[in-house]
Amino acid sequence: MTGRASASAAGPAGAPVDPGVRAEAVVDLAAITANTALLCRSAGRAAVMAVVKADGYGHGAQPAARAALAGGASLLGVATLDEAVSLRHGGIDAPLVAWLWPPAQDVRPALAAGVQVGVASVQHLGTVTAAASAAPGGRPQIHLKLDTGLGRNGAGPADMAAMFAQAARAEADGLVEVVGLMSHLASADIPGDPSVAEQTARFTEAIAAARAAGLRPRWHHLANTAGTIAHPATRFDLVRCGIGLYGLCPVTADPGLRPAMTLRATVALAKRVPAGQGVGYGLTYRTAAPSTLALVPLGYGDGLPRNAGNVGEVLIGGTRRRIAGRVAMDQVVVDCGDDDVHAGDEVLVFGPGDRGEPTARDWAGYCDTIDYEIVTRIGPRVPRRYPGVAPGSATGGGRR
């Protein structure tokens, strides 16, 4: 078939296709705003914290944060203190929480930036109280992180009472303000999993224990995107939504989320080869007949999973074609048969699926992983483009 891309063709999100672009991730910020609004409706009376950790799950933390705030998010969340400080340096002044840091880390830059920090142990609390004098304009605001069954970060049942007691003393001494209690669901994306109800009950008990210790936090947050959509009892008064902001739904009851990222590239070389031509390291693929091979300049150095070799698909000229041979660091090859494919043609690796291209979920299936990993692993060598946003603006932020 013939189906050549052209420089004037409409690309993802209506952006023009530039055949001179090696590769790019086109991010639809309007989709993030609309997804946030949908999640706010799903959350009911609970407020929404938009999680923009890991550079906004690969979409760009600054622009994703602004798009989520425009969609109705009340707070922002990240994993690390450095991520939080970077957002502040970019001009983000919304309430911002960071919760994953070693207790020996210098917390003062985050406190000075007005970041609310997650406190996972008595040791973490001691670090914050020792640095409290560095926080201008008031006491550091903290969220006590509780382990209700996930077995990761947070104080477990044996440690909660001591942490509540010490936090109450620190608050009474004017050293901190406890503004939140938080925990994280383990299996909210698994239909019927009993751990959801068990964790919800444990979190409810922990709230009662914190109140008995004299704590009156404003926020209580347990639900992730899956909990927000599928488990009303987990919502409390604040939910933390991450993957749903970017249009990837972890449960079957999708409220209408739209994937925000389209990964595209340009054919760098097309050539005819005879039957039996080996392709790639190890020659794990050979052409079955005379064929056109298209070289796509994206590889595992850009974030494509190496195990997508011989299974991952892309869209070229309106047809899905499978990667031929192994994924290399910088490139993959696609066997296009007798299609009329040329250097400069557009390659859609994944996107929302509007044009028949694979989705991030499809790629997760090719590689036995989750779509979270597919979008998050797209690396810094792939520039992000935000259609409708001027390069270098406060909203788009150029690359990141």
Q: What residues contact residue 264 under an 8 Å CB cut-off, 6+ apart?
A: 11, 12, 17, 21, 23, 24, 25, 26, 346, 347, 348, 349, 351
Is position 281 annotated as part of the catalytic site? yes
Strands 384-385 and 313-316: unpaired
Phi first, then psi: give them for residue 98, nearest 5 degrees.
-130, 140
Residue 39 token pair: 């999640």
Parallel, antiparallel or unpaired: strands 219-221 and 96-98? unpaired
Tell me if 46 sits within 8 A of 236, measured CB to CB.
Answer: yes
Helix (H, G, I), strand (E, B) or coil at 120: coil
Question: H or E stretch including 63?
Answer: helix 61-70
The one catalytic residue among 53, 246, 285, 300: 53
Please state the φ and ψ torsions of residue 396, each to the nearest 5 degrees: -85, -40
For residue 141, CA distances in Å to 116, 214, 218, 354 come to 5, 16, 11, 44
Query: Active-site residue 271, yes or no?
Result: no
- How far apart CA 154 and CA 65 sit, in angstroms, is 25
Catalytic, out of 57, 246, 281, 366: 281
In 297-363, which ranges are E strands?
313-316, 319-322, 332-335, 346-350
Active site residues: 53, 281
